[in-house]
Chains A and B, each alone.
Chain A
Amino acid sequence: MTQVLVFFDRVETELSRAQAELLTHADALGDTVVVTGSLPVTGTAPLAVKGVTGVLTGADHVNAPIYAPDPALADVVAAAAGELDPDLILGLDAPETVDALARAAVLLEAGLITGATGVTGSGAATKSVLADSWHTTAQISEDGPLIATLRPNTVLPVLVDAAEPEVVELDVAASSAVEILKEAELPSTGRPTLTEASTVVAFGRGVEGDLSLVEELADELGAALGASRVATDAGWIDHSAQVGQTGVIVSPKLYLSVGISGAVQQKAGMQTSGTIVAINKDEDAPVFEIADFGVVGDLNEVLPQMIEEIRRRKG
């Protein structure tokens, strides 16, 4: 049986969709033990799912949880691996996880693959590289463990309820190498999360700072709002909405690109979408090279008509 160690930097009262996906991957591979820096005060209820046989965390986790970017997170992972001798150590493809697992890989002298789309029990991982233009498979050269971070939207999360797993504290304490001076959660947008939404309406310089039409369209479609870097740099929307190489990578069923030229760095974040619809007044805009349906036109004329037509059909 393959032994999988799943790392979450923190577990809150509810699993995120990405965390649920990771546990789904792990359950398909073998027995799962979760290792984390912190747990909700209410206990391990969110981890009470089939496949999870136990939870490991730091010493005194109730009073002194370990939060990113404390390097002690990596020590917890290494200590857990020492106990379990896992074949695979998996985490989310997010900076705080990459940091902790990269450091753990050094401690464990293990191979690391980030941004994988799938893994096998024998230490191979699939991965898209070069802005998603190549598909590759990579393999660890020695005996395990393979440490890998997995991208979101690589599996449909299916979790089956089970008994609450037991928590075991490891002999690792939070360190003071990095002091957290301030921390705030990003304000909620009230719209679906970019990486999880099945429809994304993304806008660029073309909207010239006026978001009313794209917001109205997004609301009609129940879509998340994304943006190009020009639009986030201009402060029209928070940086967390940026789609692309240095922003979020999305892969929704439908991606509506509005007033975005389609530079390589923007394409890197959206070209694996199911269907791409582009609206741009310049017929030579590179986004049209990858659009399934393209409208050469002024967004200020096309969008109001779209919104009206969608409303009319909804009745």
Chain B
Amino acid sequence: MPGSLHIITLVKWVPDAQLERSIGENRRLDRREGILGELDEYPLEAALQIKENNDAATVRVSALTMGPTGASAAVKKALQIGADDGFHLNDEALAAADISATSAALAAAINSVRDPDSADYLVLTGMASDDGESGAVPAQLAARLGVPALTQARGVVLSGQRLVVDRISGNRQQSVAALLPAVVSVTDQANDPRYPNFRAIMKARKKPVTTLDLADLGLTGHAVESKISMITAEPRPERQAGEIIHDDGEAGKQTVDFLTEEGLL
């Protein structure tokens, strides 16, 4: 299809930040339960808006995750929200993958699932994963794919093959442009993600999900070896609740008393 576009949105399956999260004796994050990372709903929404603002028939939105078996839940959620199809890269050799290993595996997966019939592709990611929070996978991915990285997008507009992204860079506000293909990381400032309705949930059941392992990508474990490993992990002592007072008309003064006693004024 000339003029067609394949958008690949990355969705990570992460432990729910609203619940207690912990690192086990083996220095690995407990991943028995998870959800589609909240910050990965924004790139998905951006993808769906691009599809809706263009000739929808020519835009394909795929969701791609890398993670253990449970991670297929993140892909299913993305299909309910509106992605057309999904891919799940699952391989034991990817357990405890660092930024380098993650980006190497995801780059190979993108090259493998990229629609050969589409003229262009666009990779959309979250600004950070809710668990790793490195914010570095998008730039590494772009480097490995040999395409520009436009990160921290507060707005994404696609006209033809040209992307225009509004972003914040330190104390500067920028508007930048690049040609497809590209990797764009999308912030929670960019849009308001939609919720799936009952119809969409029903429809999602029929959407295809493909599971891949490293062999399917022509990779060995060696190609995705981590360069960083965690050697210690300890829970930070929880903050204790201190003195709580109810305002009976004197609380402002009492607060200043507290600040004075603590030497904070």
Show the binding face of A for B, using Cβ within 8 Å. 9, 68-69, 71, 74, 94-96, 98-103, 105-107, 109-115, 124, 128-142, 177-186, 199, 221, 229, 239-240, 245-246, 253-254, 264-265, 271, 275-277, 279, 283, 288-298, 301-310, 313
Contacts and interface: CB of A to CB of B under 8 A. Distances in A.
Given A136-B23, A246-B187, A302 B136 contact: no
Contacts of B170: 9, 94-96
Given A115-B134, A139-B231, A181 B175 contact: yes
A276 B249 CA distance: 21
Interface of B: 17-18, 21-23, 27, 29, 39, 98-100, 103, 127-128, 131, 133-140, 142-144, 148-152, 154, 164, 167-178, 187-189, 225-236, 239, 241-247, 249-256, 258-260, 262, 264-265
10 contacts: A69-B151, A102-B99, A103-B142, A184-B172, A279-B255, A291-B241, A294-B243, A295-B255, A296-B247, A303-B252
Given A134-B22, A277-B255, A293-B242, 10 more contacts: A69-B167, A105-B136, A110-B227, A130-B17, A134-B23, A139-B229, A182-B173, A294-B245, A304-B252, A306-B253
A295 B253 contact: no
B174 A136 contact: no
A139 B140 contact: no
A248 to B, nearest CB: 11
B176 A69 contact: yes
Given A140-B227, A305-B252, A102 B246 contact: no
Contact of B247 (A69, A239, A276, A301): A301
A68 B169 contact: yes
Given A111-B98, A134-B23, A137-B232, A105 B251 contact: no
Contacts of B264: 199, 253-254, 275
Contacts of B164: 181
A244 to B, nearest CB: 10
Given A98-B136, A275-B262, A133 B235 contact: yes
B145 to A, nearest CB: 10
Contact of B239 (A96, A271, A306): A271
B244 A291 contact: yes
Given A114-B134, A289-B241, A130 B173 contact: no
Nearest to B261: A293
Contacts of B151: 69, 95, 98-99
A141 to B, nearest CB: 6
Contact of A305 (B144, B241, B253): B253
A212 B250 CA distance: 21
A302 B251 contact: yes
Nearest to A136: B233
Contact of A99 (B139, B154, B226, B236): B139
Nearest to B250: A305
B252 A177 contact: no
A313 B256 CA distance: 9
A240 B252 contact: no
Contact of B149 (A103, A138, A303, A304): A103
A138 B175 contact: no
Contacts of A293: 242-245, 255, 258
A245 B250 CA distance: 34
Given A186-B171, A239-B168, A302-B252, A99 B243 contact: no
A133 B21 contact: yes
Contacts of A112: 98-100, 134, 136, 140, 227-228
Contacts of A294: 241-245
Contact of B251 (A199, A221, A295): A295
A183 B23 CA distance: 42
The 9 closest A-B pairs by CB, nearest first: A305-B252, A297-B247, A111-B227, A102-B139, A292-B242, A102-B136, A306-B252, A106-B143, A294-B244
A128 B249 CA distance: 40
Contact of B143 (A68, A103, A313): A103
Contacts of A292: 242-243
Among B18, B135, B231, residue most surrounded by chain A Cβ atoms (within 10 Å) = B135
B111 to A, nearest CB: 15
Contacts of B18: 264
Contact of B169 (A96, A276, A277): A96
B239 A290 contact: yes
A305 B251 CA distance: 8
